[in-house]
Amino acid sequence: QVQLVESGGGPVQAGGSLRLSCAASRPTFAVYSMGWFRQAPGKDREFVAAINLNSGSTYYADSIKGRFTISRDEDKNTLYLQMNSLKPEDTAVYYCATSAASAQRLPDRVDRWGQGTQVTVSS
CB 47 within 8 A of CB 38: no
> What is the predicted pLDDT for the residue at 18?
98
pLDDT tens digits for range 65-80: 999 999 999 888 899 9
pLDDT digits (tens, 9 = 90+) for 3-29: 899 999 999 999 999 999 999 887 667
Contacts of residue 62, Cβ cutoff 8 Å, sequence gap at least 6: none
pLDDT tens by residue, 19-65: 999 998 876 677 899 999 999 999 999 999 999 999 999 999 999 99
What band does 1 get if pLDDT is binned at 50, 70 and 90?
A: confident
What does the angle CA 91 – CA 10 – CA 122 come to, to the nearest 5 degrees?
45
Q: Any bridge partners for residue 69, and if so which? A: 82
